[in-house]
Structure 1
Amino acid sequence: MSATTLLSLIAAAVIALGLSAYMYGFKSRLNPRLRWILGILRFMTLLTLGVLLVNPKIKKETYTTQKPALNILVDNSSSLENLDRVSLATNLSNALNTDTELMERFDITAYQFDQSFGPLSDLNYQGVTTNIADGLTGLETIYGDQNAVTVLLSDGNQTLGRDYASLASRLKNPVFPMVMGDTTQFEDLRITRLNANRYAYQDNEFPVELSLGYTGTGAVNSVLIIRKGNQVVKRQPVSFDTQANAQTLQVLLKADQVGIQTYTAELQSLSNERNTSNNRQQFAVEVIDQSTRVAVITTIQHPDLGALKKSITTLKQREVEVMEPAQAVGNLDDYQLVILYQPDSRFAAVYQELNELKKNRWTITGLQTDWNFLNDVQLKYAKIGAGGEDQVSAETNRNYPIFAMDPVDFSSYPPLITQFGSLDVFVPYDEILSQTISGIFTESPMLFSFEADGVREAVWDAQDLWRWRAHNFIETRGFDQFDDLVANMVQYLSSNKRRSRLNVSYESFYYSNAQIGIQAQYFNENYQFDPEASLNLTYTATDGTSQRLPMLLKNNYYQANLDGLAAGVYDVTVTVDGQGIARSGQFTILDFSEEEQLLTPDVLKLTALAANTQGSVFYEDQLEEIKSALITDDRFVPVQKSRQNVVPLISLKFLLGLLGLLLAIEWFTRKYNGLI
């Protein structure tokens, strides 16, 4: 308390005493007892009021003890079940989480991870993939600025995500891995990776790339066998030793039958090999009898052409040829879709042949488009008075009814370039992208589609599409958003299949560790998407068991998730309640588990993780050792923190209550004695 405040309080006490003495001492005619009572009450009232007016500040200091955080991070993937470490991992987790000595030293919290990361709730060891990096970065987000330590219970085998050993240098808190599994090295052959295209053309050869590995102390020979059903289609001898313990092979297989062809690649096991599950992998290829051929016709050179070609050929069964109008005339019937890039009068013969063939088309316009020619050669849309340059942005129509599309926010993408003028459409159309300028909607669509006279057509009134593909990569490190939009348009425009009120989409085959999603769109009689419909999906396995589940609305389509189904062939039917409309199909799930491929813990990576984070590595039988290391480590000691609160006296409500109480007692005393 400052000297000024102290002198002010003394002055307030002197003034209160003087006024009380003056009022009830010198001039009062009351009896002495009453004078003393009223005088003391008045003194206390004036003193309280004076203290409140001076309003001194009271400092209050509190002390708290902050313990370091101990995070128990448990691997919940199926690899621990394959290693027969389920009970041990659960017991170790419980022992660390409930140890009294650790609880005195740390604030303990338990977490789990497999393909995702979260608080420990129910360890079932059924995770289909292991993402250790996700668990470590999740803890870093929560505890990065605190004194914390992580105990990692895992075999160290990661099948998804970034390399956690290289990530360790960015972690602020140490990690103490406990290695789960038998670290004894046995002779082992394995297929570490298999890459194959999803599609192949009939009567063509398609490549299959296999990465093979060997662990052991001597030289061994084996044979790689690839079967289709019971038929051996490829046999190749392979050799390994301690120096050449890995190799990559590429084999060519013949696509001789249309449809889904399932293959099995297998390395013949060694006589003393304990783990043979990683010697075998299934894969599948869908053989199609023809590809989708797309012709891009243009008279100019522009980066858009390369961007479109890259996007369209993302699926290998699509071919793109860029040509001038003179080359295209007479050959258009060889293509399922024709893209007209910035047409001008040199396209006259192309339009004549397209109309004769009733060929689907996609027109992309820009600054070099001759709109006078385009307005004359077709009568479905027009831009009057086109000229000059305009920068336009796009807004996605989330209810586009033609195909299911995730609602990508293209409004954040760079503006595109178009010719100034209003684009009018004279036929019923569906708008995918709306044109905006400075965030204001114009009357013109940017990208739209329509069907007229048995022909499907789309128009994209903008150029510099390559900027969108580049922006997509900068933002997401991939091209998926732009490529999916282009691919969906190509798929729709290259088909002449009659439009249906119920469309169902799914892959022809899935791997058992992948997400399995069935999507559907339902339209009313006017072919408008109906978000109020009730769609149900029924799937039936080869053994006759079936299950029915509702499809949930997501954006402009319905979706059902079938993750976790066993390997096999499934018939699927989607129905619309009350409409008598249904669509059926079939898909295959191939048996594949990355978690079964590695049955030896990755001690090297776990050791590197511990070293890079200044932690220590322990083994599954070293519970007491890791407890002792945590308790005796000087980095993890509780810290006592003080906190000083400065409170103005006027904020203390009891002083205001005391002032009111004193005034009330004085008033009552005077009233009782007839002085009021």
Structure 2
Amino acid sequence: MQTETILYIIIAGILALLLALFQYIKGRQKVSKLNLIFSFLRFVTLFSVFLLLINPKFEQLTLTTEKPNLVIAVDNSSSIKHLKQDENALNVFDRLSQNKELSTKFNISKYTFGEQLNSFDSIGFSEKQTNISDAFSQLSEVYKDTNTATILISDGNQTYGNDYEFITSKFKSPIYPIILGDTVTHTDLKIQQLNVNKYAYLKNRFPIETIISYNGNNPVNSRFVVTQGNTTVYSQTINFTKNNNSKTINFTLPANRVGVRSFKATIIPIENEKNIINNSKNFAVEVIDQKTKIAIVSNFPHPDLGALKKSIESNEHRSVVFLNSNEIISQIDDFQLIIINQPNNNFKDLFDAIDKENKNRFIIVGTKTDLNFVNRTNENFNLEITNQTEDYQAELNLNYSPFIVDDIDFESFPPLKSNFGAVEFSIPFETILNKKLGNVSTNQPLLVSFEANNRREAILFGENIWQWRAQSFINTKSFNAFDNFIGKLVQYLASNKRRNRLNVEYESFYNGNTNVIIKAQFFDKNYAFDTRETLNIIVKDRNSDEEKTFPLILKNNAYQVDLSSLPPSEYNFTVKATNENISKSGSFQILEYNIEQQFLNANVVKLNQLAMNSGGASYFVDDSNNLINNLLSNNRYASIQKSHKNIIPLVDWKYLLIIIALSLALEWFLRKYNGLI
């Protein structure tokens, strides 16, 4: 408190005392006890009021103790159970999380991880995939710039994701791996990788690449065999030595029938081989009769064109050809869909041709589009021409009905450059994405689709969609989400199939290590998405004839069910609406493959390197007590005492007002009681 303020308080006290004495003492020959009480109460009142007027400020010092963090992350993948380390993992986890000395020194947080990081709830060692890198990426966001020690209880075997050995460039805290699994090297033959396209074309041969590895010291001979049912379709003898321990086999197989063709690749086990699960791998190919051909027509280069080609051709069922507005006319019958980029007067003959052939089309309207030409060449919509542009972000219309659109976090995508002005449609249309300006929805369409004259058409009112594909990769570390969105749009536009009230989305086959998700949409008689219907799916195993019924859960703009619990087999299914006699049937196959069962040992080398890179140390299960002692004795993890100084003005102290009220009330009561009022 400043000296000047203290001086004001002293003066206020003297002045309050003088005023109180002047009122109740001055001029009285005899001073009674009652007058002294009145003087005291009046002094308290006046002095309190003067203090409020001066409003002195006081310093409040608060001391807090901040403990370091201890993160315990447990590998919840099925490889832990496969290596028979589930009991060891639980024991060491309980030993660490229930240690009273660690709880006293650290703030302990518990997590599990497999495909993704989760707060600790329960451990079942049932996750089908392991992504250690992603777990550390998420932990680095939570514990950024904090004093943290991280204990990783894992076998170190990762099935997908970035190499976690180098995660220390982002994760700055020491890591202490507790290694689960056998470190003894066993002789083993393994199908390391099998590469095959998802689709093949009828009466062609499709290529297969198989990488086989050998872990051992002695020369061995084996045979690589590919079977389809009980028929061997390919075989080859293979020799391995300690130094020549990897082989790549390339071969082709014929595609003779349309449909899903299932195969099994096997490397014949050698004597005393411990793990023979990783000697086999199932794979499948869907044989199709022809490709869907799509033309992208543009008279100038643009990065949007390359992004669309990449997205469309991510599905091998489709092919894309770049043409200009003149080249396309003579080949127009070869394509099921024509994508027209920013048309102008030079596209007149093309529009006449596709109108004549009634071809499906996807038009991109951008800053170089001749809007007058677009308005003249169609009868379905009219664009307001302002000669101005604006940057618009996308907002998903959850009520879009022609096909299922997943929210791929459109609102995080960069804005598209679009012409400023309203668009009016003369026919019914469906909005996929709306324009959004900052946080304000404009209710103007950014991407729409409609059906007219027995053809399907879509219009994108913006350019630079290539940035969306890049942002999607930044968000998810994969192009799949954006490519699937474009793929669904292209699939819808390239087909003229009659619209159904019940649509089901599924794959022909699923690998054993992926989630089996089936989605459906149900519409009322006006083709508006109906959220009141109850959908069930009846799944029948072709081999055992066993039937199971599952409900479909409503999620956003679709119903969906997760059938990942089904064992590998071939299945027929029927999705039925409960309230109406509408159903849709299909079939799919789940291939037998568990990537978590491909490992024999813990990845000791990589876990040791991770610990060394982060400044930590690695331990085996039996050494967990040494880890506890190390953490307790390490001065790096000392608690920090922090002081917080707050400046509090007296006017914030509400009790002073209570004192004023009480002193005035008591003075009035005593005066009244003694007949002085």
Q: TM-score range by the shorter chain?
A: 0.7 to 0.9
Aligned residues of 1:394 and 1:446 also touching (Cα < 8 A):
no
Q: Amino acid of the residue matched to residue 148 of structure 1?
A: T
> Which secondary structure state, in structure 1, belongs to the residue aligned with residue 635 of structure 2?
coil
Decide whether aligned partners of structure 1 residues 65 and 334 sit closer, same or farther in structure 2, where only a CA change above 3 A counts.
Answer: closer
The answer to whether the 8 A contact 1:189-1:269 is kept is yes
Structure 1 match to 2:659: 658
**Structure 1 residues 189-228: aligned runs within 5 Å:** 189-228=189-228
The secondary structure found in structure 2 opposite 1:559 is strand
1:458 aligns with 2:418: no
Amino acid at match of 1:98: Q
Change in CA separation of 1:554 and 1:14 when aligned onto 2, cut-off 3 Å: closer
Query: Could you tell which deviates more after superposition, 133-142 or 439-448?
Result: 439-448
8 Å Cα contact 2:65-2:639 kept in structure 1:
yes
Alignment-mate amino acid for residue 186 of structure 1: H
- Give matches, 1:162-173, under 5 Å: 162-173=162-173
Q: 1:447 to 1:604 in 2, by over 3 A?
A: same
Q: Is the 2:140–2:170 contact (alpha carbons within 8 Å) kept by the matching residues of 1?
A: no
* 2:643 is the counterpart of 1:617: no
Deviation at 1:104, TM superposition (A): 2.3
Name the SS of the counterpart of 2:622 in structure 1. Answer: coil
Structure 1 distance, partners of 2:391, 2:381, is 18
Determine the C-alpha separation between the residues in 1 that align with 2:109 and 2:570.
Answer: 43
Cα–Cα, structure 1 residues 241 and 669, in superposed 2: closer, same or farther, change >3 Å?
Answer: same
Q: Does 1:559 align with 2:556?
A: no
Q: Which structure 2 residues correspond to residues 127-138 of structure 1 after superposition, within 5 A? A: 127-138=127-138
What SS is found at the alignment partner of 1:128?
Answer: coil
User: Residue 588 of structure 2 aligns to which amino acid in structure 1?
Assistant: F
Q: Distance in 1 between matches of 2:19 and 2:34?
A: 17
3-state SS of 1:635 partner: helix
Alignment of 1:275-424 (within 5 A): 275-294=275-294, 300=299, 302-303=301-302, 306-321=306-321, 335-337=335-337, 342=343, 355=356, 360=360, 381=380, 397-407=397-407, 409=410, 415=416
Over residues 332-369 of structure 1, what are the superposed CA-to-partner deviations in whole Å (9 max), with x where a residue is unaligned? 555544556758689769956984x7665556678687
**Unpaired stretches in structure 2, ≥5 consecutive residues:** none
Question: Which residue number in structure 1 is paired with residue 592 of structure 2?
Answer: 591
Distance (Å, rounded) in 2 between the aligned partners of 1:353 and 1:55: 82
Q: Is the 8 A contact 2:77 2:128 kept in 1?
A: yes
For 2:676 and 2:68, locate their aligned partners in 1 and report how far apart those are by CA, in whole Å. 67
Aligned to 2:637: 636
Report which stretch shifted further, 555-564 or 114-123. 555-564
* Equivalent in the alignment of 1:538: 538
**Are the equivalent residues in 2 in contact too, given 1:571–1:584 (CA < 8 A)?**
yes
Give TM-score, length-normalised by structure 2: 0.86
Residue 177 of structure 1 and its aligned partner are, at CA, apart by: 0.7
Q: Aligned partners of 2:632 and 2:48: how far apart in 1?
A: 54
Which residue of the other structure, out of 473, 478, 486, is the alignment partner of 1:476?
Answer: 473
Q: Is the Cα contact below 8 Å between 1:344 and 1:370 reproduced in 2?
A: no
Deviates more, 1:593-602 or 1:97-106: 97-106
User: What's the CA shift string for 1:291-343, capped at 9, x where partnerless?
Assistant: 32345677x45446655544433222223445678877786555544556758
Please say if 1:62 is aligned against 2:62. Answer: yes
Alignment correspondent of 1:550: 551
Contact kept, 8 Å, 2:194 with 2:211, in 1: the verdict is: yes
> What is the identity, as a one-letter code, of the residue corresponding to 1:603?
V
The 3 A distance-change label for structure 1 pair 673 and 295 is closer
> What corresponds to 2:668 in structure 1?
667
For 2:620, the aligned partner's letter is Y
Structure-2 change in CA distance of 1:598 and 1:34 (3 Å)? same
Rate the CA distance shift 1:28–1:241 in 2: closer, same or farther, 3 A: farther
Distance 2:52 2:414 in 1: 62
Query: Structure 1 residues 339-348 or 258-267, which shifts more?
Result: 339-348
Bigger Cα displacement from structure 2, 512-521 vs 627-636: 512-521
Query: Which segment drifts farther, 662-671 or 276-285?
Result: 662-671
- Counterpart for residue 573 of structure 2: 572
CA contact (8 A) 1:79 1:599 kept: no
Compared CA separation, residues 330 and 650, structure 1 to 2 (3 A): closer
Equivalent position amino acid for 1:63 in 2: L
> Shift in Å at residue 402 of structure 1?
2.3
Partner residue of 1:449?
450
Q: CA deviation at 1:562?
A: 2.1
User: What percentage of residue pairs aligned between the two structures are identical?
Assistant: 35
**For 1:622, what is the secondary structure of its paired residue?**
helix
Alignment TM-score, normalising by the size of structure 1? 0.86
2:392 touches 2:417 (CA, 8 Å); kept in 1?
yes
Partner AA of 1:162 in structure 2: N
Structure 2 Cα separation of the partners of residues 4 and 141 of structure 1: 49
Question: d(CA) in 1 for partners of 2:108 and 2:282?
Answer: 43
The answer to whether the 8 A contact 1:343-1:374 is kept is: no
Is the 8 Å Cα contact of residues 329 and 350 (structure 1) preserved in structure 2? no
Partner Cα separation in structure 1 for residue 11 and residue 358 of structure 2: 104
Cα distance change of structure 1 residues 317 and 94 upon mapping to structure 2, 3 Å threshold:
same
Judge conservation of contact 1:394–1:433 (CA < 8 Å) in 2. no
**Counterpart Cα distance in 2 of 1:597 and 1:217:** 20
SS at match of 2:627: helix
Post-superposition offset of 1:632: 1.0
Measure the CA separation in 2 of the matches of 1:28 and 1:161: 94
Query: Counterpart of 1:249?
Result: 249
Deviation of the 1:450 alpha carbon: 1.5
The aligned amino acid for 1:245 is: N
Aligned 8 A contact 1:344 1:371 in 2:
no
Q: Distance in 1 between matches of 2:43 and 2:433?
A: 81
In structure 1, C-alpha distance between the alignment counterparts of 2:545 and 2:661, rounded to whole Å: 84
Question: Matched residue of 2:134: which SS?
Answer: helix
Note closer, same or farther for the CA distance 1:422–1:105 as it changes in structure 2 (3 Å cut).
Answer: closer
